[in-house]
Structure 1
Amino acid sequence: MKEKIILAVDGGATKTTLSIRSEHGECYFKKTSTGSNAQTIGAHGVKEVLNELLWDAYQSTKIETIDAAVFAMAGIDSASDLKLVSEIIELCCQKVPFKIEKIIIENDVHSALLGLVGLNNPGALIISGTGSICMATDGNGHIVRTGGWGHRAGDEGSGYWIGKEILNIIFRMEDGRLKKTSNLKEHLYKKLQIETTEQLITWLYQPNYTNAQIASISSILQDAVLLGDDQAIAIARQAAKELYFLVNAALQKINYVKKPLTLFVNGGVLQNNPIILNLLQQYTLQNYPNVTFMICDKNPIEYIVKRAVDSLKKP
């Protein structure tokens, strides 16, 4: 029997990776390009990224038939988002000679969750990077989401949220509204290589501002925590609580009770801030003692590949 071929795309906000593999894991092609979130770069930008990756993949492999393709794309948050991204992907696929038997298009976190737990197992995935989101599945096709609403409305407990909290403390200290001192200012000024509040303002309101810029500030939190800084510890505690609220709401939505369930953990905030991860575990296990935490240790494309391979088993 001829070995089946899958195509997997991890279309994130900052980078997009496309890989072609055999169903047993042999890699024929892998390439990473810039981000492909339609909400950020628009439909035309997504077309450019996908057209280039798909054409390069075909030119490199000359494979004619793809049995299953999974496009796991950031920025699919509603039915209208899905419609737009699906139209973009269909147009892009028409421009390459690939014959794709089965195409799955879904939110990137949705795909990662199914790649992690499989199609028929319960589980959950909490991510805290630039933004924050949690998704859970009951293993019977019911998949739910909490958070992921972006920096304007949410992203509590994320790198962006932590960065904003740090800035708030520094400006309150500058005004004299915060009586307790904090070494967060010293850490931040050192990171940004600045010396004054005026320079901080210039950095904050620069023309090419991005959310990732604010999120990058969160990297100083752990050092301040290790020095026993009360303000930093307070931010870490609140971040953990906010992430627990996402987990709790997601588990309630799938009517989770007491059966064993794995909660997968991903994102720079949870991987680089042990105090936040430890507190999240404490808060969760107090109410859900049968939940097991597992830190994601692979590149996200690997979970999308697994999602694509699993899709071959289901009509």
Structure 2
Amino acid sequence: MENSRFVLAVDGGATKTTLVIYSDNGDTLFEKTSTGSNYHAIGANKVERVITDLLLDAYQAVPFERIEIAAFAMAGIDTEYDLSIVKAIIDNCFQNVPFETQTVIVENDVHSTLIGITSGNPGALILSGTGSIAYAIDRNGNIVRTGGWGHRAADEGSGYWIGQEIIRAVVQFEDGRTNKQTALKKLLYEKLQVDHMEEMLSWLYRPEYTNAQVASISSILCQAVSLRDETAIDIANRAASELSRLASTVLRKINVFEEPFTIYLNGGILQNHPYIRDLFIQEMLEAYPNLSFELCHKQPIEYLVNRAITELN
């Protein structure tokens, strides 16, 4: 311990925040998870409380004060303005905790995850969870981004987008705007534990509504696709095409055309919806035959620890 160097990594997501401290020899010295820390969702003051409490718990649990690298991978950093806000929050948090930090890194969470996965080598990360986003690194270390602009502006092919499409399909059927029967109605009502459209709409417009809850509706799509439901298959096809367009755009930004290149796949949609994932891969290979694809199997915090460790080398 005396000659070890220590890194702190924070995965600040919309629904939960995990903080870990690792030594440079791979030992986990502290780990704790709290509530979400996307400042767009809960506000800067609440984020500051969440992060400060985790830092204080960590400080009380470890027998040292010096942290070489503190890497904060935070959801909600989409613009330079966002970055300035979150950096100020992190600065305030460290004013309340006696840790001595050599370097503090604050980044978009997907940006950090890509660096952690690739160790800064060329590659792309396509994520489709509650939202959708793509990042890529070229051979010169340049990092580019496509998508991830939130549910009001983008997030096509994401869990939220799929959940919305399912709700729209059911409402259109119930409203008489389409006569096409769909298994999605029964599956949706069962998931929400409602009996008719009025109850479903009450669920949708209640004060406790969150994007993550709408995104969770996407879980019924697999079963509907397995039943060969035409509406579900159409939604899945369009989701795959939107993700393919997202990925193709980020590859064009770093001039990937015919050379071998790896795309890493993460998020609940690409992890848990094989029909969408397989169709996405098929569409991408038609345009980029030398691509390879890898599913991300580790927990996000593990990639973020690796991202922090890359700064030690």
**TM (normalized to structure 1)?**
0.97
SS of match in other structure, 1:102: strand
State the Cα distance separating 1:293 from its structure 2 match.
0.8
Amino acid at match of 1:30: E
State the SS of the aligned residue for 1:57. helix
Q: Kindly provide the amino acid, as one letter, of the partner of residue 257 in structure 1.
A: F
Deviation at 1:227? 0.5
Which deviations, in whole Å up to 9, do the C-alpha atoms of 1:4-37 show, x marking residues without a partner?
Answer: 1110011111110000001121000000001111
Which residue is equivalent to 2:154?
A: 154
> Which deviates more from structure 2 when the two are superposed, residues 301-310 or residues 34-43?
34-43
Q: Residue in 1 aligned with 2:135?
A: 135
Q: Supply the distance in 2 between the matched residues of 1:78 and 1:195 (Cα, whole angstroms).
A: 42
**Structure-2 residue corresponding to 1:87:** 88
Question: Residue 139 of structure 1: CA displacement?
Answer: 3.6
Looking at structure 1, the residues matched to 207 and 95 of structure 2 have their Cα atoms a distance apart, in angstroms, of 38
Q: Write the distance in 1 (CA, Å) between the matches of 2:104 and 2:164.
A: 39
1:181-192 equivalences under 5 Å are: 181-192=181-192
Q: Answer whether contact 2:6 2:66 (CA < 8 A) is retained.
A: yes
Name the counterpart of 1:97. Answer: 98
What letter is aligned with 2:88?
E
Q: 1:184-230 CA deviation, whole Å, 9 max, x = no partner?
A: 10111111122111111111111111111211111100000000001
Specify the code of the residue in structure 2 equivalent to 1:163: G
The one-letter code of the counterpart of 1:100 is: T
**How big is the shift at 1:141?**
2.4
Q: Write out per-residue CA displacement over residues 61-84 of structure 1, whole angstroms, 9 at most, x where no aligned residue.
A: 032111111011111111111111
Q: 1:1-315 alignment to 2 at 5 Å?
A: 2-119=3-120, 121-313=121-313
SS in 1 for 2:49: helix
Unaligned runs of 5+ in 2: none
Give how far 1:104 is off: 0.9
Alpha-carbon offset, residue 258 of structure 1: 2.2
Matched residues in 2 for 1:82 and 1:244: separation?
28
Answer whether contact 2:122 2:141 (CA < 8 A) is retained.
no
Cα drift, residue 125 of structure 1: 0.5
In 2, the alpha carbon distance for the partners of 1:276 and 1:300 equals 22
SS at match of 2:105: strand
- CA shift digits 1:226-247 (9 cap, x unpaired): 0000110000000000001110
Deviates more, 1:145-154 or 1:195-204: 195-204
Q: Residue 272 of structure 1: CA displacement?
A: 1.3
- 1:263 corresponds to which letter in structure 2? I
CA shift, 1:179, in A, is 2.2
SS in 2 for 1:31: strand
* Partners of 2:43 and 2:67 in 1: CA distance: 27
CA contact (8 A) 2:44 2:89 kept: yes
Contact persistence 2:10–2:17 (CA under 8 A): yes
Question: Structure 1 stretch 129-138 or stretch 251-260: which is displaced more?
Answer: 251-260
**Higher mean C-alpha deviation, range 203-212 or range 25-34:** 203-212
1:63 counterpart SS class: coil
Following the alignment from structure 1 to structure 2, what is the Cα–Cα distance between the partners of residues 116 and 57?
A: 25
- Overall identity of the aligned pairs, in %: 56
**1:71-119 CA-partner distances (Å, limit 9, x unpaired):** 1111111111111111111121122111111111111000000000112
Of residues 191-200 and 19-28 in structure 1, the stretch that sits farther from structure 2 once superposed is 191-200
SS of residue matched to 1:90: helix
